[in-house]
């Protein structure tokens, strides 16, 4: 998918699972009139030239950055490493946040307590990352990498860190209840092993909570955009040549 706004560099969205779409992130980009490309990472191929993009958003995945037997994981580690090296801002969302942590020297490990469903977080910067509640769905967790600033946490996992223009998140501001419900249905056997028989209880939310989560996600994306330097540089207008 390609949406392009003339005069600015687009955003590169790294899509790792068909059932984990960019959701509210695309809604925000469209509302802010920011162009974007959604690239399915499972297609492989040569890595794009990241200098052609304003920032990179890396989405969720069934894999973790330690699953280096999967070629797509290795490619994502390399791509995010290149983005950091070239100072192209990265917005890491769950798996993307774990990859960003790993690239920066952080640790990614199995979470003793998987975080599934709505969770409120403790935040040091409620303007950039509000307390939520946010949708979560992860069985691993990352550490705050060396040199990064930890922004938010729960008792069970770090939830957000900032490293220069980069932001790593463990939760899913881009996801909706409908998206996460699909993940829950795919994880039915795993949930049963955890003693969870009805995943709908984890995701139940009245309309006002869903709308509040959407608004919080837009504020978070706006704050990321404001904090990252030289985002959206102008491109040469071909019609002016």
Is there a contact between 170 and 115 (Cβ–Cβ < 8 Å)? yes
Reduced to 3 states, what is the DSSP secondary structure of residue 14? strand
- Distance (Å, rounded) from C-alpha 81 to C-alpha 77? 6
Is there a contact between 152 and 159 (Cβ–Cβ < 8 Å)? yes
pLDDT tens across 40-55, in order?
988 887 778 899 999 9
With 50 as the cut, is the pLDDT of residue 222 above it?
Answer: yes
- Distance (Å, rounded) from C-alpha 205 to C-alpha 137? 16
55, two tokens? 């920032």
CB atoms within 10 A of CB 198: 10
Q: Write down the H helix ranges in 154-206.
A: 177-186, 188-193, 200-203
- Distance (Å, rounded) from C-alpha 98 to C-alpha 170? 7
Q: Of 222, 217, 126, give the one whose Cα is nearest residue 175.
A: 217
With 50 as the cut, is the pLDDT of residue 241 above it?
Answer: no
More confident residue, 182 or 1: 182
Q: What is the pLDDT of residue 228?
A: 73
pLDDT tens across 102-148, in order?
999 999 999 999 999 999 999 999 999 999 999 999 999 999 999 99
Q: What is the pLDDT of residue 195?
A: 86
Put simply, whether the predicted model's pTM sits higher than 0.85 gets the answer yes
Q: What is the pLDDT of residue 7?
A: 55
pLDDT tens across 149-181, in order?
999 999 999 999 999 999 999 999 999 999 999
> Could you tell me the domains of the chain?
2-240 (3.40.50.880)
Phi-psi label, residue 44: left if phi above 0, alpha if psi -120 to 50, beta otherwise: left
Q: What are phi and psi of 171, to 5 degrees?
A: -95, 180
pLDDT tens across 202-221, in order?
899 999 999 999 999 999 99
Classify residue 13 by its DSSP letter. Answer: E
Is there a contact between 93 and 130 (Cβ–Cβ < 8 Å)? no
- Distance (Å, rounded) from C-alpha 168 to C-alpha 91? 6
Q: What is the pLDDT of residue 240?
A: 35
Is there a contact between 90 and 100 (Cβ–Cβ < 8 Å)? yes
With 70 as the cut, is the pLDDT of residue 232 above it?
Answer: no
pLDDT tens across 1-42, in order?
444 444 578 999 999 999 999 999 999 999 999 999 999 988
Q: Of 47, 219, 81, give the one whose Cα is nearest residue 163.
A: 81
With 80 as the cut, is the pLDDT of residue 231 above it?
Answer: no
pLDDT tens across 80-104, in order?
999 999 999 999 999 999 999 999 9
Q: What is the pLDDT of residue 85?
A: 95
């Amino acid at each position: 998918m390609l949406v392009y706004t003339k005069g600015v560099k687009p955003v590169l969205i790294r899509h790792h699972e068909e059932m984990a779409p960019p959701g509210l992130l695309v809604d925000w980009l469209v509302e802010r009139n920011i162009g974007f490309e959604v690239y399915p990472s499972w297609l492989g191929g040569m890595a794009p030239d990241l200098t052609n993009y304003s920032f990179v958003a890396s989405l969720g995945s069934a894999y973790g950055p330690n699953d280096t037997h999967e070629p797509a994981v290795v490619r994502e580690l390399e791509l995010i490493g290149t983005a950091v090296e070239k100072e192209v801002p990265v917005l890491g969302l769950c798996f993307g946040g774990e990859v960003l942590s790993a690239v920066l020297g952080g640790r990614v490990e199995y979470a003793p307590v998987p975080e599934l469903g709505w969770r409120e977080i403790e935040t040091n910067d409620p303007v950039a990352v509000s307390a939520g509640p946010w949708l979560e769905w992860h069985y691993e967790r990352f550490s705050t990498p060396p040199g990064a600033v930890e922004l938010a946490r729960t008792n069970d996992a770090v939830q957000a860190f900032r490293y220069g223009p980069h932001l790593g998140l463990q939760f899913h501001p881009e996801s909706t209840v409908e998206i996460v419900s699909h993940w829950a249905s795919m994880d039915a056997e795993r949930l049963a092993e955890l003693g969870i028989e009805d995943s709908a209880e984890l995701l139940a939310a009245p309309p006002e909570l869903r709308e509040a989560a959407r608004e919080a996600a837009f504020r978070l994306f706006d704050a990321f955009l404001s904090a990252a330097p030289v985002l959206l540089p102008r491109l040469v207008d071909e019609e002016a040549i």
